Copies of this chain bind each other. A is one copy, B any other.
Amino acid sequence: MSFDRLQDKIDEMRNPSVCGLDPSLGHIPPDIVRKHIVARGETLASAADAYFDFNAGLIDALYDIVPAVKLQSAFYEALGPCGAVALKNTADYASGRGMYVILDAKRGDIGSTAEAYSEGYLGTFKIGATEFEPYNFDAMTVNAYLGSDGLVPFMETAKRRDKAIFVLAKTSNPSSGELQDIDIGGGRRVYTAVGDMACALSAGDTGRRGFERAGIVAGATYPGELAALRERLPHTFFLVPGYGAQGGGAQDAAAAFARGGAGAIVNSSRAIICAWKNTGAGGADYAEAARAEALRMREALRRAVY
């Protein structure tokens, strides 16, 4: 099962962290951006080339110590169709290096539309007698606002292809409480209802390591809610944003882990990919700086979790 592969990789590296590959021109060393502008001009294509170049360097620097990457789809979509190419190439490169690759797309739609999203990112597309994997992510994030018939098609594709999903429950941002924290009676809140929905959808679909196919997203910036969700959902895999630049620490994130320190993965994006901005080398050392920061995060999580 998809989360078995992820948990095995985490255990092997003793590192429950995922690096967010969220590129923007401001995050990439200027020399890399310039090189691609020289090659293809000031175009969206050269920006996309710079994104992939930057990402590949990060993946090379991290793949033996970090089990997973998470690609935030928005930053790629912001480049138009060229960005979709960079998204796919980055995902394929990371998979080729053995990493578990998560698409952070927060998609949420219904029926045949949800099916199209899930087949595109986790599944296949068939034309004539030929079947393609348009993208080939291991897991993706989804939004449950449309209710369970927005999630079922993702679950079906995930099951068929041995992939997984993470349903947004309690997000890490300041205004996440506006809808998610609404008290719905019986000691439950909207985010609890979403967590329960993920759990119900997974019924009977549990891997060797004890986790269900539908995970949830729950932010390190709300450790109380994180702990409450963990207590309620002992067999759910947690994807935890909000660590580092957003203010959550290792102790906060530790609340997401199940007994024995399994069942969660903590994301950091900017702190790792922009670590080069703190070394004074102008970006020439971006890969080394990212690795050093990833090792610091690993140590902090090891102390807090294991």
Task: Identify the A interface with B (CB < 8 A).
Answer: 22, 24-25, 33, 37, 42-44, 46-47, 72, 74-75, 77-81, 83-85, 87-88, 106-114, 116-117, 119-121, 125, 127-130, 132, 134-135, 143-150, 168, 171-180, 182-184, 190, 193-194, 197
What is the distance, in angstroms, from A96's C-beta to the closest C-beta of chain B? 17
Contact A78 B149 (CB under 8 A): no
Q: How many copies of the polypeptide does the oligomer hold?
A: 2
Contact B179 A134 (CB under 8 A): no
Residues of B within 8 A of A85 (CB): 81
Contact A79 B120 (CB under 8 A): yes
Known: A81-B84, A146-B171, A182-B184. 20 other contacts (CB 8 A): A44-B134, A47-B125, A47-B127, A74-B117, A77-B84, A78-B116, A79-B120, A80-B120, A80-B125, A81-B81, A81-B85, A81-B87, A110-B171, A147-B175, A149-B175, A150-B173, A178-B193, A179-B193, A182-B193, A183-B184
Contact B74 A116 (CB under 8 A): yes
Residues of B within 8 A of A184 (CB): 182-184
Residues of B within 8 A of A190 (CB): 179, 182, 190
What is the distance, in angstroms, from A163's C-beta to the closest C-beta of chain B? 15
Residue in contact with A106 in the complex, picked from B24, B87, B143, B149, CB distance below 8 Å: B143
With A74-B117, A109-B106, A125-B78 in contact, do A147 and B176 touch (Cβ < 8 Å)? yes
Contact A24 B81 (CB under 8 A): no
Contact A182 B182 (CB under 8 A): yes
User: Could you list 30 A-B pairs, sorted by A, with CB under 8 Å?
Assistant: A37-B127, A37-B128, A42-B127, A42-B128, A42-B129, A46-B127, A72-B113, A74-B107, A74-B113, A77-B117, A77-B134, A78-B116, A78-B134, A80-B135, A81-B84, A108-B143, A108-B145, A111-B173, A144-B145, A144-B179, A145-B171, A146-B168, A147-B175, A147-B177, A147-B178, A148-B178, A149-B173, A179-B194, A182-B184, A182-B190
